[in-house]
């Protein structure tokens, strides 16, 4: 089965549509949470996920828009947009976000927004944190988002467990071997690795071939829509730098 794996759309419809066009035909699309927050088009992005995404889990910004987390945990800009997003979301889209679970396990793959240990909040950035989350899922692979940085964590489970963090090369398919892996597709709507292009990955669950992809989108249009909605200037500016 060929699966498009997306994460952290963050209400950025221009980026989401560019990813969809680039993805082409896939059997399923899986989304790793944070459909909303930061960006100007929460309803259109939730509509997209409801109609085209097969599996989706909740992220911290989805919960923030539902009032399920303390907004004091967010910076001032994110708090402001969480309140705005909640005001914008239609009842059916709020209901849909309410239905999202914290993790999903399918075949040999665990899906979590942050980490299998703490799905809503934990950031998997460093190999030590990755090692500490290993006992919280039993599948061979995990897919996570939340950091907005595409990465492959390759885990060695010999006598002493260790982990490499590998930076993927976009557009170059590779086949994963027998090692345990945690894959982060990066962010569709707010990349933070210094590259403004939307990030996602394609995974073939039978051949175990993976391809990370980057897609340019109309950043100026998203910024224009954010300005129109009165969203914070810092969030508008960061999209063109990818930070
Ligand atoms: Zn996010």
Please give the distance, rounded to the nearest whole angstrom, from the Cα atom of residue 10 to the centre of ligand 1: 7
240: left (phi over 0), alpha (psi -120 to 50) or beta: alpha
Please give the distance, rounded to the nearest whole angstrom, from the Cα atom of residue 33 to the centre of ligand 1: 7
For the stretch 78-111, pLDDT in tens is: 999 999 999 999 999 999 999 999 999 999 999 9
Please give the distance, rounded to the nearest whole angstrom, from the Cα atom of residue 69 to the centre of ligand 1: 14
Give yes or no for residue 157 having a pLDDT over 90: no
For the stretch 176-186, pLDDT in tens is: 878 899 999 99
Among 19-28, 155-164, 182-191, 233-242, the least confident range = 155-164
For the stretch 194-215, pLDDT in tens is: 999 999 999 999 999 999 999 9
Mean pLDDT of 129-139: 91
Please give the distance, rounded to the nearest whole angstrom, from the Cα atom of residue 98 to the centre of ligand 1: 17
Question: What's the pLDDT at 22?
Answer: 98
What is the model's pTM?
Answer: 0.96
For the stretch 45-65, pLDDT in tens is: 999 999 999 999 999 999 999
Please give the distance, rounded to the nearest whole angstrom, from the Cα atom of residue 34 to the centre of ligand 1: 5
Please give the distance, rounded to the nearest whole angstrom, from the Cα atom of residue 204 to the centre of ligand 1: 24
Please give the distance, rounded to the nearest whole angstrom, from the Cα atom of residue 36 to the centre of ligand 1: 8
Beta pairing class for 109-112 and 141-143: parallel
Please give the distance, rounded to the nearest whole angstrom, from the Cα atom of residue 158 to the centre of ligand 1: 33
Sorting pLDDT into bands at 50, 70 and 90, what band is 159?
confident
Please give the distance, rounded to the nearest whole angstrom, from the Cα atom of residue 164 to the centre of ligand 1: 23
Question: What's the pLDDT at 141?
Answer: 94
Q: State the Cα–Cα distance between residues 225 and 7, nearest whole angstrom.
A: 21
Question: What's the pLDDT at 162?
Answer: 87
CA 136 to chain centre: 20
For the stretch 1-50, pLDDT in tens is: 999 999 999 999 999 999 999 999 999 999 999 999 999 999 999 999 99
What 155-159 contacts at long range (C-beta under 8 Å, 24+ apart), as own/partner pairs, is 155/130, 155/131, 155/179, 155/180, 155/181, 155/182
Which residues lie below 8 Å from residue 163, measured CB to CB, with a gap of 6+? 127, 130, 131, 153, 154, 155, 156
Please give the distance, rounded to the nearest whole angstrom, from the Cα atom of residue 214 to the centre of ligand 1: 17
Kind and range of the H or E element at 204? Answer: strand 198-204
Please give the distance, rounded to the nearest whole angstrom, from the Cα atom of residue 210 to the centre of ligand 1: 22
Residue 120 to residues 4, 6, 112, 210: CA-CA distances in angstroms?
21, 16, 8, 25
Please give the distance, rounded to the nearest whole angstrom, from the Cα atom of residue 61 to the centre of ligand 1: 7
Please give the distance, rounded to the nearest whole angstrom, from the Cα atom of residue 188 to the centre of ligand 1: 9
Please give the distance, rounded to the nearest whole angstrom, from the Cα atom of residue 190 to the centre of ligand 1: 8
Question: What's the pLDDT at 125?
Answer: 94
């Amino acid at each position: 089965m060929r699966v498009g794996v997306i994460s952290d759309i963050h209400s950025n419809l221009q980026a989401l549509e560019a990813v969809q066009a680039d993805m082409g035909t896939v059997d399923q699309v899986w989304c790793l949470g944070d459909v909303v927050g930061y960006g100007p088009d929460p309803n259109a992005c939730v509509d997209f996920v409801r109609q085209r995404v097969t599996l989706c889990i909740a992220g911290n910004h989805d919960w923030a828009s539902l009032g399920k987390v303390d907004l004091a945990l967010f910076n001032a800009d994110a708090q402001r947009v969480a309140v705005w997003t909640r005001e914008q979301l239609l009842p059916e889209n709020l209901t849909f976000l309410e239905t999202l679970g914290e993790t999903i396990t399918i075949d040999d793959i665990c899906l979590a927004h942050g980490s299998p240990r703490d799905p809503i909040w934990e950031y998997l950035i460093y190999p030590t944190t990755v090692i500490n989350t290993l006992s919280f899922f039993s599948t061979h692979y995990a897919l996570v988002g939340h950091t907005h940085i595409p990465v492959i964590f390759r885990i060695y489970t010999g006598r002493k467990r260790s982990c490499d963090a590998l930076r993927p090369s976009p557009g170059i398919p590779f086949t994963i071997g027998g090692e345990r892996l945690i894959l982060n597709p990066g962010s569709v709507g707010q990349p933070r690795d210094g590259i403004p292009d939307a990030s996602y990955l394609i995974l073939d669950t039978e051949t175990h071939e993976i391809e990370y992809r980057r897609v340019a989108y109309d950043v100026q249009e998203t910024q224009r829509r954010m300005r129109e909605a009165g969203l914070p200037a810092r969030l508008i500016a960061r999209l063109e730098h990818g930070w």
